[in-house]
Amino acid sequence: MTTESASATVNQVSPLLVTARELIEDVAALPTPVILDVRWRLGDPHGREHYFSGHIPGAQYMDLTGDLAGQRSTREGRHPLPPREEFEDAMRRVGINDDSRVVVYDDCGNTSAARAWWLLRWAGKKDVYLLDGGLKAWIAEGEDLAVGPGNPIERGDFTFDLDHMRTVDADTTADWPDRGVLIDVRAPERYAGRTEPMDSRAGHIPGAINLPTGSFLDERGRFLPAERIREMFADIGVTDGKDTVVYCGSGIHATHALAAMEIAGLEAGRLYPGSWSQWSADRSRPIALGENPR
């Protein structure tokens, strides 16, 4: 199967998603896609162990904090964007070439896998997709899992080409509610400031509207229909991604919301990479509490 014909199996509902059945067909043909396992959850640092316990055959593990983020700091936040050279090296290490088709998955509704999807798109990779429903969808098809550290692979030749996805800094984010829509995709209790398990201050950026990224998923961890997601964005005033900035706790789950925008047929908005972890660490930045944006 050529790269062109492999791409033809992309989910017709959304060109960003593949189903488990489509991935099964892909891995049975040549060339096979590069499959990335990005299992990570807030408070669960054991993604590699989960991968060893069972993963899609042929998948390569990607460590979110080590491969998909730069060094944590109060200045840049908990998961800043990785340096260009380090990200390029990590992608080559898992066998990604410039002409590779890449499929990414996790076991939590693509809320962490979306980080790899966004970074690859940011770095100029177009042929990259999310496995809708993740590992659970693969298992539901009756497919076996592989165990252990995975098979050795040939190093890839992926070349980083910067800035194919848009980002904003803290100053631009502060002014954004006067220019467009600023979305906070964290859980409502964190947005309102009732709890804050990770960062130094609780609350949200003044003017931000809360739309939890988990709202885009059904009970199986698969994305809702595009029409429904589009309605959810329209309800908060988003009809064009060019007018939208998205943030979360540290720039991970916000990428899931940006994927949802593309699934809905909207142009993906801008990411504030530092997100609340950067904003809240700067004591000069104002915060808002409660259910209202201001």
Instruction: Return the active site residues.
Output: 248
Contact criterion met (CB below 8 Å) for 287 and 277: no
**Cα–Cα dist 159/206, whole Å:** 38
**Cα–Cα dist 281/277, whole Å:** 6
Q: Across the chain, which distance is largest between two alpha carbons, in Å?
A: 56
67, containing H or E segment: helix 64-67
- CA distances to 4, 27, 47, 65, 175 from 220, rounded to whole Å, are 30, 23, 20, 26, 37
**Cα–Cα dist 107/112, whole Å:** 9
Pairs from 191-198 (Cβ < 8 Å, separation ≥ 24): 191/291, 192/289, 192/290, 192/291, 193/287, 193/288, 193/289, 193/290, 196/280, 197/42, 197/43, 198/42, 198/78, 198/249, 198/250, 198/277
CA angle 125, 31, 69 (to 5 degrees): 35
